[in-house]
């Protein structure tokens, strides 16, 4: 019977070790599952936060662009008036003023475009611009865009303050 008692004690101890082993395995698996879901939640949260920051930066840039557009007073009440003002500035050789009739992002490029232009090239350019004033042009569907096509393409945009700016020539 003593043998039996030793065997039973050994068996109980073995069962206890087996239960402890399975409990530890279960605990490890449970912790890993929790970590897996927590990591997924954190990545989703971080992605959403990054997206929120990007959207906020875009809104901020749009508000700043809108404020700059409202403050910009260079341009006419019609696309043709803006073109006339631009031509006048070019004819006077005031290229800095001429560049201000373009939308904000194009002004520096327009100013640089006059560097190194020959007198003949400039005269031909002004001739094309004067001829463009005879083109009736056409408005976009929302009436905030306007385009002249002959003899060169001239694209205009209406700013929020009602003035017209040149997008490209």
Q: Is the model more confident about 46 or about 140?
A: 140
Q: Phi first, then psi: give them for residue 118, nearest 5 degrees.
A: -75, 160
What tokens appear for 61 in the block? 């840039």
> d(Cα 128, Cα 135) in Å, to the nearest integer?
11
> d(Cα 136, Cα 163) in Å, to the nearest integer?
19
Burial state string for 36-54 with b = 16 or more CB within 10 A and e = fewer than 16? eeeeeeeeeeeeeeeeeee
The pLDDT assigned to 1 comes to 53
pTM above 0.75, yes or no: no
Provide mean pLDDT across the span 115-144.
Answer: 94
The pLDDT assigned to 87 comes to 97
The pLDDT assigned to 47 comes to 87
Digit-coded pLDDT (tens) for 75-105: 999 999 999 999 999 999 999 999 999 999 9
Residue 147, classified by CB atoms within 10 Å of its CB into exposed (0-12), middle (13-18) or buried (19+), is middle
Digit-coded pLDDT (tens) for 1-60: 555 666 667 777 777 888 888 888 988 998 999 988 888 888 888 889 998 898 999 999
């Amino acid at each position: 019977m003593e043998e039996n008692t030793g065997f039973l004690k050994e068996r109980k101890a073995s069962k206890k070790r087996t239960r402890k082993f399975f409990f530890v395995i279960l605990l490890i698996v449970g912790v890993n599952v929790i970590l897996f879901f927590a990591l997924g939640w954190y990545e989703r949260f971080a992605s959403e936060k990054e997206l929120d920051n990007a959207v906020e930066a875009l809104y901020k840039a749009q508000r700043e662009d809108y404020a700059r557009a409202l403050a910009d007073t260079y341009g006419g009440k019609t696309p043709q008036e803006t073109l006339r003002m631009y031509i006048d500035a070019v004819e006077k050789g005031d290229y800095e003023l001429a560049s201000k009739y373009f939308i904000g992002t194009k002004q520096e490029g327009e100013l640089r475009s006059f560097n190194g232009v020959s007198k003949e090239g400039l005269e031909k350019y002004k001739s094309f611009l004067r001829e463009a004033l005879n083109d009736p042009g056409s408005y976009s569907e929302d009436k905030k865009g306007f385009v002249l096509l002959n003899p060169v393409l001239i694209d205009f945009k209406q700013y929020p303050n009602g003035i017209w700016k040149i997008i490209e020539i």
